[in-house]
């Protein structure tokens, strides 16, 4: 019998600040060497479950805890957070915020310093693990200078030096570009194969997580465990969408084509999935597709000519040219740190180009202040907390209008209208602190919409959102685009998002635009994807396996998706 590493018996937990328990009657058993994925929508209690495993609860959050928890056979009641941390190594969600050392080496050694290891031992261990994770050339670097993937490796190395038998990872994919995410999954797989430790991953990006071997998936909803499944079993159950988790794209596609999931073999791998009807169906649907015209002959709304920009000596753009047409829905993609956010900041005036011209509706933007540009261009930052400065929802949305001296009655009408569009009207008299992350995001969009911008730039509009909120936000944006002819540019790492919601993709490469084409064409070009740290979606893998043109296949699916939406 394998050893039980984590055991929950009838565990219920209620935070002191809350009326209802966040976790209800949890029973869970995880064995030594297992790799377990915990999925569930926002607010389902999966992070709370993680905090109970690593001892943050009850150390940092007080509340009512009943039931029994055993970590490596020991009763968690008798363990301090320090004892637990020797059993469970935790990688927190945002690896940037958990850096404690001034350099990579110090950060890796942090736990050992607290355990009073001597210097030669620390140096040896730091070298051993940094070599293993290929960050040995970065030891003297400050954490701010690392890429997302490197930060994560540093965080992992800092846990692995402890030799703890359990690793707990909270949304390890959240801050990574598609390629780095893929590498991170590979790395976990290799580590697991070698160390045979127990790994618990909390993640709502199911599709990427499934590219590794997962022993079981714990599905959570509303504080309860819905069930514990083998990946294939869960996918066949066809219940994911109901629980706000995005199904893998290829499963979605197969369902849309009318393939019954129960007839499929090896359903948990896009590389192997097959069944009696699959090949026929894919060929049939791809054969007679109405071409979707993405061609937009409207006037240019934004025109960038010969743009150059550098941070000090580091050149970001050199002679970049691009025109955006009215009504475009543009996705801006490319590897981390290549300048996607920089380009947006140049457009809205947060940064000033070294050379070149940016015109909006034929007028130069360069002599305008940030405020003047904001009358036409709304920029929504990734982190809503950086944009919000008021306490009440209504005031936050009204702020831009007040500062532009609109009459009171008009402000009220405009604010209410924007709040209605963003589904926030019922909350208008609430404090902002009562909103969820997704609602805050919509709030920042509302406070831009009141200014009636002609162009919206959104930085990672769906980052950190579960599927339910993701769809909600993106459908909302698409509606704005259709109904108000609002031009949009969004920065994203999410290939699904790009394929499904944008009509045009700009791939940013080193110093310039690498490709300007439809999302389907971009996804079909493997060389380009590799160059820009992007990944094929499982759809294009499926298309390739069954020898159909990706373009046709994806057009069929997108067409079908849009039909569905208009029916609703």
Partner 1 sequence: MNSNLFGYDHNNTWVHQLTGTSKLIFFILVSIIAMISYDYRFIILVLLLSIFAFKQSQIKWVQIKFVVKLIFIFAVLNLVMVFVFSPNHGAALYGTRHVLINLGYFTITKEQLFYELNLGLKYLVTVPISLIFLITTNPSEFSASLNKIGVSYRLSYSLSLSLRYIPDVQNDFKEISLAQQARGYEISKKGKLFSRLKGTTQILIPLILSSLDKIQTISQAMELRRFGKNKHRTWYMNRNFNKKDYSIILLSIFIVILGILFMKMDGGRFYNPFI
Alpha helices per DSSP H over 506-549: 519-523, 526-531, 538-545
**Order of strands, sheet of 63-71, starting from the edge strand that comes earlier in the sequence:** 23-31, 4-15, 63-71, 74-75
Q: Which residues pair with 364 in a beta bridge?
A: 359
Binding partner 1 (rule: CB under 8 A), the pick from 97, 194, 483, 567 is 97
Phi first, then psi, for residue 428 (nearest 5°) are -55, -30
Site string for partner 1, 287-326 (x = CB under 8 A): ----------------------------------------
Residue 379 makes contact with partner 1 by CB under 8 A: yes
Alpha-carbon gap, residue 367 to 369, rounded angstroms: 7
- Tally: H helices and E strands in the chain: 22, 20
Instruction: HSE, CB side, 13 Å, CA atoms: give it for residue 245.
Output: 31
Identity of the residue, 6 or 109, whose beta carbon is nearer to partner 1 in the bound complex: 109
Output DSSP code: residue 248: P
Residue 98 makes contact with partner 1 by CB under 8 A: yes
Site for partner 1 in 42-81 (CB under 8 A): 54-56, 59-60, 81
Binding partner 1 (rule: CB under 8 A), the pick from 64, 68, 75, 113 is 113
| Residue 513 contacts residue 507 (beta carbons within 8 Å) | yes
Binding partner 1 (rule: CB under 8 A), the pick from 12, 261, 275, 350 is 350
Residue 404 makes contact with partner 1 by CB under 8 A: yes
CB of 102 to partner 1, least distance (A): 5
Q: What sign for the dihedral angle of Cα 114, 120, 124, 127? A: positive
Interface with partner 1 (CB under 8 A), residue total 62
* Crossing angle of helices 408-421 and 393-403, rounded to 10°: 130
Q: What sign for the dihedral angle of Cα 310, 315, 320, 325? A: negative
Binding partner 1 (rule: CB under 8 A), the pick from 40, 143, 223, 248 is 143
Identity of the residue, 155 or 519, whose beta carbon is nearer to partner 1 in the bound complex: 155
Identity of the residue, 100 or 530, whose beta carbon is nearer to partner 1 in the bound complex: 100
Alpha-carbon gap, residue 72 to 68, rounded angstroms: 13
CB of 373 to partner 1, least distance (A): 8
Binding partner 1 (rule: CB under 8 A), the pick from 100, 124, 366, 413 is 100
Residue 567 makes contact with partner 1 by CB under 8 A: no
Binding partner 1 (rule: CB under 8 A), the pick from 10, 119, 260, 298 is 119
Residue 438 makes contact with partner 1 by CB under 8 A: no
- Assign 344 to helix, strand or coil: helix
CB of 259 to partner 1, least distance (A): 44
Residue 16 makes contact with partner 1 by CB under 8 A: no
Phi first, then psi, for residue 117 (nearest 5°) are -70, 150
Site for partner 1 in 122-141 (CB under 8 A): 122-123, 126
Q: Cα–Cα–Cα angle for 91, 97, 98, nearest 5°?
A: 40
Residue 118 makes contact with partner 1 by CB under 8 A: yes
Complete DSSP assignment for 261-318: GGG-BSTT-TTT-B-TTHHHHHHHHHHSPPPPP----SPEEEEEEEEEEEETTEEEEE
Site string for partner 1, 151-180 (x = CB under 8 A): -------x----------------------
CB of 340 to partner 1, least distance (A): 15
Binding partner 1 (rule: CB under 8 A), the pick from 12, 42, 70, 117 is 117
Binding partner 1 (rule: CB under 8 A), the pick from 388, 419, 522, 541 is 388
Give the residues lining the site for partner 1 (CB under 8 A).
Answer: 54-56, 59-60, 81-82, 85-86, 90, 92, 94, 97-103, 105-106, 109-119, 122-123, 126, 142-145, 158, 345, 348, 350, 369-371, 373-374, 379, 381, 383, 385-389, 399-400, 402-404, 447
């Amino acid at each position: 019998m394998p050893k039980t590493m984590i055991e929950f018996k009838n565990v219920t937990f209620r935070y002191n600040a809350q009326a209802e328990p966040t976790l209800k009657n949890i029973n869970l058993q995880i064995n030594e060497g297992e790799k377990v994925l915990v999925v569930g929508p926002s607010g389902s209690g999966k992070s709370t479950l993680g905090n109970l495993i690593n001892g943050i609860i009850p150390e940092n959050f007080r509340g009512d805890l009943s039931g029994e928890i055993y970590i490596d056979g020991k009763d968690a009641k008798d363990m301090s957070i320090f004892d637990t941390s020797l059993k469970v190594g935790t990688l927190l969600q945002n690896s940037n915020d958990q850096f404690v050392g001034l350099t990579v080496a110090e950060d890796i050694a942090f736990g050992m310093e607290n355990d009073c290891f001597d210097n030669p031992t620390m140096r040896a261990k730091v070298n051993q693990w940094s070599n293993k994770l290929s960050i040995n050339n970065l030891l003297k670097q400050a954490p701010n200078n690392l890429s997302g993937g490197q930060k994560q490796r540093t965080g992992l190395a800092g846990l692995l030096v402890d030799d703890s038998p359990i690793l707990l990872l909270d949304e390890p994919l959240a801050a990574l570009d598609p390629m780095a995410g893929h590498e991170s999954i590979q790395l976990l797989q290799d580590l697991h194969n070698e160390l045979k430790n127990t790994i618990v991953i909390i993640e709502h990006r199911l599709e990427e997580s499934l590219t590794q071997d997962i022993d079981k998936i714990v599905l959570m909803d509303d504080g309860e465990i819905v069930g514990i499944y083998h990946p294939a079993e869960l996918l066949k159950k066809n219940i994911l969408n109901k629980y706000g988790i995005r199904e893998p794209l290829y499963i979605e596609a197969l369902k849309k084509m009318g393939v019954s999931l129960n007839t499929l073999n090896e359903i948990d791998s896009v590389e192997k999935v097959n069944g009696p009807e699959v090949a026929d169906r894919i060929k049939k649907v791809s054969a007679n597709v109405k071409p979707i015209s993405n061609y937009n002959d409207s006037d240019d709304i934004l025109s960038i000519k010969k743009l150059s920009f550098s941070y000090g000596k580091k050149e970001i753009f050199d002679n970049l040219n691009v025109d955006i047409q009215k009504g475009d829905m543009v996705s801006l993609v490319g590897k981390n740190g290549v300048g996607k956010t920089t380009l947006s900041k140049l457009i809205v005036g947060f940064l000033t180009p070294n050379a070149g011209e940016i015109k909006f509706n034929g007028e130069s933007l360069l002599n305008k202040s940030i405020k003047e540009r904001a009358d036409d261009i709304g920029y929504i930052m990734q982190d809503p907390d950086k944009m919000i400065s008021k306490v009440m929802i209504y005031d936050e949305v009204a702020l831009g209008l007040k500062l532009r001296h609109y009459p009171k009655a008009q402000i009220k009408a405009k604010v209410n209208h924007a709040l209605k569009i963003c589904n926030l009207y019922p909350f208008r008299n609430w404090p902002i602190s009562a909103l969820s992350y997704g609602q805050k995001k919509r709030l920042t969009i509302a406070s831009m919409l009141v200014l009636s911008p002609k162009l919206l730039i959104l930085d990672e509009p769906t980052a950190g959102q579960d599927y339910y909120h993701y769809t909600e936000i993106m459908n909302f944006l698409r509606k704005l685009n259709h109904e108000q002819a609002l031009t949009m540019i969004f920065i994203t790492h999410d290939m699904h998002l790009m394929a499904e919601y944008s009509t045009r993709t700009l791939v940013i490469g080193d110093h310039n635009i690498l490709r300007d084409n439809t999302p389907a064409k971009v996804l079909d070009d493997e060389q380009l994807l590799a160059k820009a740290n992007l990944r094929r979606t499982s759809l294009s893998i499926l298309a390739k396996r069954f020898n159909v043109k990706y373009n046709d296949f994806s057009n069929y699916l997108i067409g079908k998706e849009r039909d569905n939406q208009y029916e609703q």
